Structure 1
Amino acid sequence: MRVLVTGAYGFVGTAVVHRLSQAGHEVIALTHRAPSAPLPVSPAAGTRYADLRDADALRDAVHGIEAVCHLAALTRVRESFERPDEYRNVNVGGTQALLDAVLAQAQATGTPLRFIHASTAAVYGVPEIQPITEDAPCEPKTPYGETKLAADQAVAQAAGTGSIGVIVLRAFNISGAVAGHGDPDESRIIPKAVAVAAGRASHVDINGDGTAIRDFVHVDDLARAYVLALDACEPGKHRVYNVGATPASVSDIVTETERVTHRPVPVVHHPPKPEPPTLTADTHRIRDELGWKPERSTLQEILADTWAAAGA
């Protein structure tokens, strides 16, 4: 299958391109970089260039495509408070522009397309009932979560046309590394702990006692979910799946980082902030319906792969 992957050279995109290529798909990478800019080594069969906000370029980019894995987005929660309009333009407006191009392609060819949409646990906010199921009410608490929920709603509406099938993958906290490519965002706890162990940062900040638990999944396990979702996607149907694997606290991560790296990870404690003690994923649906299960998402393997990619 010829699959367009948006955000193909990003952290998650790199892993998805590798898995799709290994599964025998012809992967076309979409990037908003200038055509003259150097690109990372990738198994993608080709590259197309378009900004999500450029409708004309998107129509050209989807020509001849049979499926789309839509990963491109702005994803930094704290930054979304500072740049809410930009987050809405890219995450909502860009997704709608891509959908418009895909629907036009499907209608022109008379062949429905498959659309796998990268979503996030941030759309749920802080549900009282844990673990979080796909049927939990969506009450995002951040501009980032609000824009991703709006994008989720747009792809669901598009599925109702019958011209595309849609599967939405709501990932929890993604980490690890594939092909030496880890998460560069050191505002997140695992990249930050590894940066401290590598000497690129002085300490990890912990609010309160560090016992708040979040759900983590290895980026390669998430990438396998995209392959399975692509196979299962059906025209006119819309399904949502959580993707999570390993609950862990900040303290667990610091301790395991020291064990894996054999380096100290100093912490600085701050007064506790109001935050839910636990946010974890119920993954029964994706396990039962797609046959997915985590294979590399122990905290040890996530950290070992992150450390190896850091090159310290």
Structure 2
Amino acid sequence: MSTLAKSITRSLHSTASGKRVASAPLHDGISALTARLTSCARIPAALGPRTLTSRVTPAAAKPPRVSARAFSTTPQLRRWGIFKTVQEAEARHKSGPFSFRAGILFVLTGIGLYSYFTFEKGRMERQRNTESHKSVGKAKIGGEFVLTNQNGERVTDKDVRDGKFSLVYFGFTHCPDICPEELDKMASMVDKVFEQRGKVLRPVFITCDPARDTPKVIKDYLAEFHTAMVGLTGTYDEIKDVCKKYRVYFSTPRDLKEGMDYLVDHSIYFYLMDPDGNFVEALGRQHTAQQAADIISTHIGDWRGPLKKDA
């Protein structure tokens, strides 16, 4: 091998005219080739082609060059934060963190919060209004009493309420027009509240004319308006005391002769009382039956204590 290399080198270094040409790079290349051939000749003859092949480790295959874009137009499974197409991703990038669905959710959340805080504000105002009518240990409007009902039984204010709200009206059975109109309105209010909240309201009629309004007279009179009404009467002093507690004005004289005809001036209000006997609100002639029923139902809905709902 060495002799062959030297011959080839010598031949290439000579020209047709017999002169040598200096070519160092070519000489270096031939020397490298000679060294490779010499190393191959030193391999033992026992190692055949099959053995050589088994000892040569194939070069690891290079991974294919990824030329795909970051986002492919090929449909993929939609997941959180993964888009189907490049156009969808670009649209999301342009729109920012907000989308149509996020806008709808934001609007609905705002409406819900506004409704909740509006309701709570109204409830707190009604509660403050109720508290303003109270004094330490005693209500400014309303109070305890002992009277006689339309069945001739002696009852207290607690017996009349019986764990329910009560709607109290002061009048007299000989009233020509105002009392019948107001009692018709009261009956309509009670029916509407029954429809909205159940039988949680007790309508109460207290006479301002105890001389003529006996238990029997009151019972026959109230039967024309509503079966749930409770009628109350008593002595002159008892009626005067309860009217004073409810801040009701009436002009009934104390000493009257039997058969004497007269009219009684009195206040015209419906007094809403809660199950504990506390004053809630006064409803006047400016309220329609529907408006009054809605106000009463709202107060009943705000009540957080025990409430009797049977007939």
Q: Same fold (TM over 0.5)?
A: no
What TM-score does the superposition give when structure 1 sets the normalisation length? 0.26
Q: Larger Rg: 1 or 2?
A: 2
What TM-score does the superposition give when structure 2 sets the normalisation length? 0.26
